[in-house]
Structure 1
Amino acid sequence: MEYKSFNWALLIEQFEGDEEILQDMIVNFQKSSPALLETLRSAVKEQDAAKLSLSAHTFKGVFRNFFSEEGSNIAYELEMSGKKSNFENTHSLLKALESQLTLLLEETLVLKKSLDKVP
């Protein structure tokens, strides 16, 4: 399968021989993402610069863990918006991040299922 939301080759190289750790990372990502996304949405809605910066920074790390360059870049832009208290483009950036997150969630679930089949 071709993954669009992350760099499969770099991810597999990073975790080669430690597929169990990768599976755990995927499970943790799947479980924690909804609450983190809600915090990010709340920060944008409330125009809370500190909360926006922190939650976007956390998402940046999440996307980087999966070698998701586009998601990481969007999260970085949101983080910088928070640091500058600039909410001008946050709604469109949030929408873009949500799209990347949805795709990453779907694709990591597929990846996890394929790893489950590896003896």
Structure 2
Amino acid sequence: MSWLHTWAGLILGWLLFAIFLTGTLSFFKNEFNLWMRPEMHGLQPVEAAAPQVAQTAQRALDALVRKVPNVTQWIMHLPDDRDPAVNILWRDTGNGRFETLRMHPQTGEAIDT
């Protein structure tokens, strides 16, 4: 029975190691995504000053209206320390699927991902 105890402990130990390692890595998902997107490396997050945040939000809303003129519901994520781009999510009225627009916070240009 000692061989069974040894092998069961080794297999369970490696399984738990893999689970804990991938769980730890998933905490840094945003940083890994930013690292894997070279087009986003030069972006700086917008400071928390109210006029800059308002201008960034207005630019994002204008870009959304240009892309989808009759959208009625959307979700906007403004830039922060973990993601320096503006993310807008809306539901397409034709097929009901969610669409995403990522854009540069200072220029309002769409970022292709």
Give the TM-score normalised by the residue count of structure 2. Answer: 0.30
Larger radius of gyration: 2
- In the superposition, the TM-score normalised over structure 1's length comes to 0.29
Higher strand share: 2
